Chains A and B, each alone.
Chain A
Amino acid sequence: MYSFDLDRPVTLEAALAALKAEDAQPLGGGQTLIPALKQRLAAPSRLVSLAAIPDLCGIDLEGETLTIGAATPHAMVAGQAGAYPALAALAGGIGDPAVRNRGTIGGSLANNDPSACYPAAVLGSGAVICTNIREIAADDFFEGMFATALEDGEIIIRVRFPVPQAACYRKFDHPASRFALAGAFVARFPGSVRVAITGVSEEGVFRWSEAEAALSARFAPDALEGVSLPPEGMIEDLHGSSAYRAHLAGVMTRRAVAAMV
């Protein structure tokens, strides 16, 4: 690792002030950033840890809205987000137990790994990302592989999830990395269905509008017969071809729907 200074503020104000330094970068749970630093893929002059700020950690249910602080670790969401069971289950399936004790929802979303689980939940739920300066709808937040609408000095404070009538996430996980080779998050709301696919597209997480239309018309696994994703633009690597990933996304979507009916 290159050398850097590490700040560990306990208030949001102090964190935002520290992030004004040149080349400063926020540090969530570090489960992706620290390995990247070890490989010298990043060279910040200063890291500002957001993990010690109590205001950024916690889960709150108000009516049909579940709000999760950005620095809430996956294990806490898995254990305490029972009001949104599909989201709790998704969080409980990220990485491994030690990773889940450190990794945070805000870190995962800000990183926007094309194979991460949380972006699928946020896009599939139509959640709202609240930052220190604005609120960003999930549909406007993800801007391609490792790219988001976040600007310099802007950090995620919390994420607001509308709790659907029913939802389910199914992923085919890579046996070594535990990331999704393909993952589908299906959420059913009164009058609408949202389907978000992760792990598959070179553009990162995306909504599968054909599947949404088919499932809105009739919510059943066989409603997806004849609905498929084209392999163009899908990730192709040694773990799977683009055609394989496109196919797998359909399988995961049907499995999610089957688990909900």
Chain B
Amino acid sequence: MTEVSMTVNGKAVSGQVEGRTLLVQFLRETLGLTGTHVGCDTSQCGTCVIHVNGKAVKSCTIFAQEADGAQITTIEGMANPDGSLSPIQKAFQDYHGLQCGFCTPGMVMSAAALLAENPTPTEAEIRAYLSGNLCRCTGYHNIVRAILAASGQGVAAE
């Protein structure tokens, strides 16, 4: 076992991990942050997307030791400090950007990474950026509308 330390959602944390411990296992099982989901375990679905030093990363495809010393943000760190929903989360609610909700943590984290890189993406850019996030309810249309709205751009009426 090896000791790892990192900053998760602004808080310094540490714990013992094996070489094979994935970052998502450390987040969910050691820290109890179960908002980050594991959908496929084959690096394809994107429900486990978090931010490592500000970049979107699949937390099921990086070892916990590789994140030693990193700044991590998970879905639990996305709300405003007063606990109210962040603009992206609010837009997902307003535009019904979720059905079963399982993919939502990864969708929100990818959306946040996209808007940090590109504050006013086109619909095509949003769809391209979400190519690694699967919604098995196939609710993509409203997810894209939510992200357009969160970016402050107009959303066409249905």
Contact = CB atoms under 8 A, between A and B. Distances in A.
Contacts, number: 76
B134 to A, nearest CB: 9
Contact of B61 (A2, A4, A8, A102): A102
A218 B43 CA distance: 44
Contact of A98 (B58, B66, B68): B58
Interface stretch (B8-16, B49-57, B95-103, B149-157): B49-57
A49 to B, nearest CB: 6
B62 A34 contact: yes
Interface string A1-34: 1111110100000000000000000000011001
Interface string B10-25: 0000000011101000
B55 A101 contact: yes
B133 to A, nearest CB: 8
Nearest to A175: B131
Contacts of A5: 19
A261 interface: no
A84 B43 CA distance: 29
A97 B129 contact: yes
B46 interface: yes
B144 interface: no
A49 B114 CA distance: 27
B42 A98 contact: no
Interface in A86-139: 95-99, 101-102
B71 to A, nearest CB: 14
B140 interface: no
B74 interface: no
Given A3-B18, A31-B43, A75-B55, A96 B65 contact: no
Given A8-B68, A52-B66, A178-B131, A102 B42 contact: no
B50 to A, nearest CB: 9
A35 B20 contact: no
Q: Which 9 A-B pairs have the closest CB atoms?
A: A96-B132, A6-B19, A101-B55, A1-B20, A96-B131, A98-B56, A98-B58, A5-B19, A34-B61
6 contacts: A6-B19, A51-B66, A75-B55, A97-B131, A101-B55, A101-B56
